[in-house]
Amino acid sequence: MEKDCADEKMKEPETSDARLRAQKSRLAKTLRSVREVNAALEEALADCSRKRMHADLLSMELEQVFNCCTDPMWVVREDGAVVRINKAMADLLGRSREEVVGNSCVDVLGEHCSPDGACPVKSCKRAGMLHTYEVNRPFASGGSRYFLVSTASLMTIDGLSGFVAQYKDITPQKQAKQIMEQANAELERLAGIDGLTGVSNRRTFDNALREEWNRLSREKRNLSVVLCDIDHFKGYNDTLGHQSGDDCLRKVARALEASCGRPADLVARYGGEEFVFLLPETPPEGGMRVAEAAREKVAGLALHHPRSPVCAYVTMSFGVAGAVCRPEDCPDALLEKADVGLYQAKKQGRNRVCAA
């Protein structure tokens, strides 16, 4: 028994050493883990620092782009408050940044903020919402400028939804478009005008005849046509020359136009010395009155005609035709009847009005 106790006393130092070694081993592992964690934390902190520096540089770059953009821009919060503006926007508004930021965009721009139903404030909560529209902004100094406004939804710096808007000046393009439209309208007008006399040409008359016939056919209303030409105009030209003939045609055309009392009435040069009247909502007897008034106005010009067997002055013969317009009928038939009336006027001695 004494021997066993002695053996146990000899084992106690060995057991203590083993425990110490185990503790040292555990401490060494813990230290390595702490060092590894510290190294990972340092790397994470360095990575965060790099990312923050990159974000700061990117923010500075975007801020420079925002401020240096020549197009006016601003950022507006969902409640309509202006968050930031660039220099171009301040110049456009004629105010400083301090006078604009924090105020409502509606108060700043008033009724010119956006067209009806296109206000970006109403739709800025919808992610990815893109919208473009045009505004015409007047200035206190006079005049106005057209802008193409492009808006896009975004999250503002305070974490609220909002939008960024860019105002691109399109005044030159708008003015060029208006000039082109005016030029096209003028070309269209000139295309329907007889170059010599200034009254409508045959093309305009043909189109107007079809349109009026279709319109009046729906209600079965009256339409009259008057066909007329200058008596013995060839002799006038042969004696006095073509320049005098052209002058005669111009004066006659003006006299014929003056005999029409309504804006809807149309006088056109039908060809050569022949003219035609289109008289919407006019019965045949009304067409006769217009034709007689025109004949008297031409006679009143007292244009000397050295080769006319009818009169010493320029005269005209008129043929009148009228009808109640019906869809099943053809407007060309009305013109043919007026031509028959003109033939009768010539056959009866000219310088007169005859109805078909």
Where does 69-173 sit in CATH, by number? 3.30.450.20
SS3 for 83? strand
What pLDDT does residue 220 have?
A: 93
- Under 8 Å CB-to-CB from 66, ≥6 apart: which residues? 73, 84, 86
- Under 8 Å CB-to-CB from 233, ≥6 apart: which residues? 245, 248, 272, 273
Report domain 192-355's class.
Answer: alpha beta
What pLDDT does residue 4 have?
A: 57
pLDDT tens digits in sequence order for the chain, 356 residues long: 555 555 555 556 667 778 888 888 888 888 888 888 888 888 888 888 888 777 666 666 767 777 778 899 988 888 888 988 899 999 888 889 899 998 888 888 765 556 555 566 666 556 566 788 888 887 767 788 898 888 888 877 777 888 888 899 999 999 999 999 999 998 888 889 999 999 999 999 999 999 999 999 999 999 999 999 999 999 999 999 999 999 999 999 999 999 998 999 999 999 999 999 999 999 999 999 999 999 999 999 999 999 999 999 999 999 999 999 999 999 999 999 999 999 999 999 999 999 98
Q: How far apart are CA 6 and CA 2, in angstroms?
A: 6
- Under 8 Å CB-to-CB from 138, ≥6 apart: which residues? 112, 144
Per the CB < 8 A criterion, the answer to whether 290 and 279 are in contact is yes
User: Residue 176 corresponds to which tokens in the numbers above?
Assistant: 């060029």
Per the CB < 8 A criterion, the answer to whether 258 and 349 are in contact is no
Angle 25-31-32 (CA atoms, 0-180°, nearest 5)? 90
The residue extents of the domains of the chain are 69-173, 192-355
Residue 247 C-beta-side C-alpha neighbours within 13 Å: 10
What pLDDT does residue 26 have?
A: 85
Q: Looking at the DSSP assignment, which residues form a beta bridge with residue 137?
A: 145
Catalytic residues: 273
The conformation of residue 312, written as its DSSP 8-state character, comes to S
Per the CB < 8 A criterion, the answer to whether 199 and 267 are in contact is yes
SS3 for 310? coil
Stretch (H or E) spanning 152:
strand 144-155
Q: How far apart are CA 156 and CA 151, in angstroms?
A: 14
Q: Bin 71: left if φ > 0, else alpha if -120 < ψ < 50, else beta.
A: beta
What pLDDT does residue 13 have?
A: 61
What pLDDT does residue 319 have?
A: 98
